[in-house]
Chains A and B, each alone.
Chain A
Amino acid sequence: MKIFLTSSTAFALLAGAAQAEGTLSVYHWFEYIPQELVDKFTAETGIAVTIDTYDSNESMLASLKAGKLGQYDVAVPADFMVQIMGQEGMLDTFTPEEMPNFGNIAPQWVDVPFDAGRKSSIPYQWGSTSFSVNRDVYAGDISSLGIIFDPPAELQGKINVLDSQNEVLILGSLYLGIPQCSTDRAQLQALNDMLLNAKQHWASFGSDTAKDVLVSGDAAAGMIYNGFSAKARAEGANVEYSYPKEGHVLWMDNMVLLKDAPNRDNALKFMNFLLEPENAAAVTNYAAYTSGVTGVEPFLDDAIKNSPENNPPADATPGVFAQACDAETQKLYDAIWTNLKK
């Protein structure tokens, strides 16, 4: 008995010891960083990187609150989530002096409302969220969010929707012309009713599955991120990404330094590494979004740079960023989401 306990303790210590030095613990979106880039970082610095993945901003936050804060060094929340995490006191700060490549951040992304002056975060990638349609299945007009919320007969029952409260509710609001963080009861009731009615035409909820369902043919249309749609197209699906006339969601994902990071120095090294234009471009070439670092252009693949997903038509309705609602208002949106998924 004693021997077993001792040996299991020894194993646990061994597993723990490996984390103490020369490691970095990253909490990241699924399929968002090429393994080659991580290997390059390890080769340059000798720091071993472990990566866990999540599939929505909300689940990342929930997981950190469930005791994972203090275990990860960096995470990659979207704009509004950076603000929420900052308010919750979950972020550590750094100074530009600690990060030699700080100056590489594109000027328009330095003084952002969710982290003024970039005290806790660096830009990772930015992009948009709307939807894509398999053109083999449906050849009609796809310029409206009605494709998702009031689908034509050909697409009914073949739609995948992101399992992400924030994006579904914002796109729904855009479709109805309702502002974000609304407290108007009639508007929220209408949003609730519209979503419930639309749900009967949806096949599945899934974010990490959003590309695969289009490629495998399990879904013929789906809410999706622009780069993820480009990857679906690259993998052989005949999908077209829409910039709908009602608008679309814009987001910027940012790498943040987490509070109580076990390897703060390594985290800063990694963030600095990602601000190197060549490395930022490697992420873009892999994930097919847009970088927030200056000087990446020479390193970008033409296919990514000129992709229809990354270059909205000149007359496209501009996108909107998500707003972080206050707790009371958020409750109303939480209720709509629960109601939708029940």
Chain B
Amino acid sequence: MAGTAPKAGKEGGTGYRGIVGPLLLPTWVMVGVFMVIPVLLMAVYSFLTKEFRGGVIWDFTLAAYDQFFLSRGLFGDEPPRIEWTYISIFWRSIWQAALATLVCLIVGFPTAWFIATRPARSRAVWLFLITVPYWVNLLIRTVSLKFLIRDNGPLNESLMSIGLIDGPLPLVNTNLAVQLGLFYSYLPFMVLPIYAAVERYNFALSEAAADLYASRWVTLWEIVLPIVKPGIIAGCILVFVPSLGAFLAPDLLGGAKTFMIGSLIDEQFRGSQGNWPFGAAAAMILMTLVMIVLLAYARAQAKSEAR
């Protein structure tokens, strides 16, 4: 994202300075009207009163946030204490997303490194192969994965037929399956930015380190990682943010048994709960979390550029 930061035009100019406003107007209108205003409206909705089974009443209240953070017992008349239900749903989603990010990093970094160190021609082939799945519909990829790992799916059947296991491995409808789904969905997001960073890395630095008797792994840790760090962080964010609000993987691979952030919000609008203000409040909290992560990233970025 930062790579596209505009460069200042030369003094002579190409004549676009005077019409910057009209050129940007469509963007302002589209994103402003259909993105910014809806999000603001959603913020307003999170402070409204819920109507029985869907819809809102225009009375301002903190009820949605109260429901999120405070518990008053099953019947709502006990003294308030901290409600762990939703916090733990968020915590579980954050944990799942973080774990998916970590696994993607552990697998993605060596892959990116390997690709970046290929000769130009085979590098192009590798890159092509890594990008293709990203262009394939996420729903189709998730469904394919589910088909592969179900109890009598091809994976379990073939493992059983060669006698490696006696009964099917219980994969589908587990947290492991959700993990696998997230990992599988977003792996290319991790590989590509790291690849871009490693590609720009000057291997003379590694050679210098080797000349000074640093081992491979010490070089990797001490020299390479600090330099390619921006690529790693960008990759982590590209995996973490969509994993956090993921809906398809928990729903199709996790058996919709436990709520994740995405399904919790979905349930308030399209499911049986029909609690719009609460759904809006949960969405606001999710967005706040993501914004905190992105701001931290922007600040780290600014700091490293200043250095």
Q: Do chains A and B touch in the complex (CB under 8 A)?
A: yes
Contact of A338 with B151 in the complex, beta carbons under 8 Å = no
A residues with a Cβ closer than 8 A to B are: 1, 56, 58-59, 61-66, 84, 88, 157, 163-165, 185, 188-189, 192, 199, 202-206, 216-218, 327, 330-332, 334-339, 341-342
| Residues of A contacting B74 in the complex (Cβ-Cβ under 8 angstroms) | 185, 188-189, 192, 332, 335-336, 339
Contact of A338 with B172 in the complex, beta carbons under 8 Å = no
With CB as the reference atom, state the residue of chain B lying closest to A165: B272
Contact of A332 with B272 in the complex, beta carbons under 8 Å = no
**CA of A61 to CA of B76 in the docked complex: distance in angstroms?**
25
| Residues of B contacting A206 in the complex (Cβ-Cβ under 8 angstroms) | 255-256
Q: C-beta contact mask, B11-52 vs A, less than 8 Å → 1, else 0?
A: 000000000000000100000000000000000000000011
| Distance of A239 from chain B, by nearest CB (Å) | 16
**CA of A208 to CA of B267 in the docked complex: distance in angstroms?**
16
| Residues of B contacting A164 in the complex (Cβ-Cβ under 8 angstroms) | 272
| Residues of A contacting B273 in the complex (Cβ-Cβ under 8 angstroms) | 58, 62, 334, 337-338
Contact partner of A58 (CB less than 8 A), chosen from B53, B86, B151, B172, is: B53
| Residues of A contacting B172 in the complex (Cβ-Cβ under 8 angstroms) | 218
| Residues of A contacting B51 in the complex (Cβ-Cβ under 8 angstroms) | 65
Contact of B271 with A339 in the complex, beta carbons under 8 Å = no
| Residues of A contacting B55 in the complex (Cβ-Cβ under 8 angstroms) | 65-66
- Assuming A188-B74, A203-B173, is B152 touching A342 (CB within 8 A)? no
Contact of A342 with B258 in the complex, beta carbons under 8 Å = yes
Contact partner of B54 (CB less than 8 A), chosen from A61, A203, A330, is: A61
| Residues of A contacting B257 in the complex (Cβ-Cβ under 8 angstroms) | 199, 202-205
Contact of B85 with A342 in the complex, beta carbons under 8 Å = yes
Q: C-beta contact mask, B85-96 vs A, less than 8 Å → 1, else 0?
A: 110110000000
| Distance of B255 from chain A, by nearest CB (Å) | 3
Contact of A338 with B85 in the complex, beta carbons under 8 Å = yes
Contact partner of A65 (CB less than 8 A), chosen from B85, B89, B274, is: B274
**CA of A63 to CA of B54 in the docked complex: distance in angstroms?**
8
| Residues of A contacting B267 in the complex (Cβ-Cβ under 8 angstroms) | 341
| Distance of A28 from chain B, by nearest CB (Å) | 16
| Distance of B256 from chain A, by nearest CB (Å) | 5
